[in-house]
Amino acid sequence: MPPPPKNRGHAPANAGQGRPPPQQPGRRMASRDAGERAAFFARREAATVLRRVLRGDASKRAGGSIKSLVYSPSVRNKRATFALVCQTLKYLTILKEVFASTGVLSSKWKKQEELVYVTAYDILFGQEIAVSGPVEQFIMLHKDAFRTALEKMCAKRKVNTVEDLLSKKSTVKPKPRFLRVNTLKTTSGSVIEVLKKTHKVVKDDIVPDMLVLPPGTDLHKHPLVTDGKVFLQGKASCMVAVALCPKPGWKVIDACAAPGNKTVHLAALMNGEGSIIACELNKERAKTLQHTVRKSGANNIETVNGDFLEIDSNDPSYAEVRAILLDPSCSGSGISTERLDHLLPSHSRDDQDDAGSTARIRKLSAFQRKVLSHALSFPSVERLVYSTCSIHQAENEDVVNSVLPLATSLGFELATPFPQWRRRGLPVFDGSEHLLRTDPEDDLEGFFIALFVRKAAADDTSELAKDGGTLGVKRKRACTARNHGLRAFSSLRLSRMDALCSIWRL
């Protein structure tokens, strides 16, 4: 059997740069030592992420996607860590079978099994750089036994290479790279001037201050990203805050806020004016939320590590809340590909465990109904967006339909965000045409958006909106004027959000 293939996704630091020039022995040793040290620490960071990913997957309580965990502030070598996590997950079934057949994974090493798997992948299939850490020494000690086990696996299954042993899991269809310009720090024009020097960049035709770059564009280390001037955020995700359309000066709640991209988008749409209460129950995710807020430069956001359901909607402190963004926990089925869920151990099990998946979705939808009903109970709320990154009717149309009697009794009605967007809600009840769905067929994530507007508030803007409860072309023109330092509609202070609301067209 030929030796296991090298994986090009995780290569030495000088990969692709050609053969290095001759060096003195001392310089070669220093370079090698530096590479080994970098690989050593990358494995530890990857093992920490892998532990959270596997535990979350096993409990169905993921603390974040692979990408969000890797690109958290605590991970220093993000590129190497991301590659190691993804490739270890890709080879995990094979690695587990190798360890089982060799019987070398004693209880001592099982306590560090994520690091063992990462190191075994890296040494057997990746760089083959092994610094003198105890786990590295353990893998190197048994390297020949692992190679023999791999050969037997290939022979038993009548394949030629280890690559042929890999399951044929879903692959990610390349999508455009979307960037949201953080208008609290810069302008779209300034960002375009910087990016067009090295990238093809165009403005999105529906979401204001959103730029579109070719698929595969990697900007994670670009100064615009690290400085918080742009956010790497999907278009469908950005449509959620635009649909809410909060005005400058409003008091707003983001009920389930982490990681915070939608929260800081709201702040930008409000020009940094008014106030936003961002709630997040999970302690670790609340830290990520706080980091996102600091990075954005928004100073009108109060982060709360607590449960939105425990807020008393009749508390005088919340009497002035005018808008609520509710993006609660969901199955994530609409972004499973972007989240790289096809790499998780549960992915293949889910195909054979429909009952378990259905039970989980039932629990999620019950929670979603509860939290949406609570959001509707705030007395001064004029606009409320319920959104999910799910494709399941049970989490989307069914949840909205179940709360409609309550919403109607409180004076709410469904409005139509982005009325010219062709993909609407599933036709399962009267009024579902007001709902919005996005789909991978649109080169987007799978999202769902429902916009509730209190009828009294809708009547106040009836002069401006003649197209099903949304702001129309007149407002678009007014917002264009505002962007040139002018004011229109003297009774309203138009915001960047207003501009977006008026550009709801596709």
In the annotation, is 389 catalytic? Answer: yes
The DSSP letter of residue 393 is G
- SS3 assignment, position 46: helix
CA 100 to chain centre: 35
Residues 6+ positions from 285 with CB-CB distance below 8 Å: 63, 64, 258, 259
According to DSSP H, which parts of 21-142 are helical?
A: 25-59, 66-70, 78-102, 107-110, 113-124, 134-141
Confirm if 216 and 353 have CB atoms less than 8 A apart: no
What's phi and psi for 165, nearest 5 deg? -80, -20
Confirm if 480 and 167 have CB atoms less than 8 A apart: no
Helix/strand/coil (H, E, C) string of 414-429? EECCCCCCCCECCCCC
What's phi and psi for 493, nearest 5 deg? -100, 105
Q: What DSSP line would sit under 236-257, residue for residue?
A: HHHHHHHHH-PPTT-EEEESS-
- SS3 assignment, position 410: coil
Q: What DSSP line would sit under 155-209, residue for residue?
A: HHTT-SSGGGGS-----PPP-PEEEEE-TTT--HHHHHHHHTTTS--EE-SSSTT
Residues 6+ positions from 447 with CB-CB distance below 8 Å: 236, 237, 239, 240, 334, 387, 388, 389, 436, 437, 438
Q: Checking DSSP bridges between strand 383-388 and strand 275-279, what pairing results, if any?
A: unpaired
Task: State the catalytic residue, choosing from 330, 389, 479, 501.
Answer: 389
Confirm if 21 and 321 have CB atoms less than 8 A apart: no
On the CB side of 94, CA atoms within 13 Å amount to 27
Q: Which residues are known to be catalytic?
A: 389
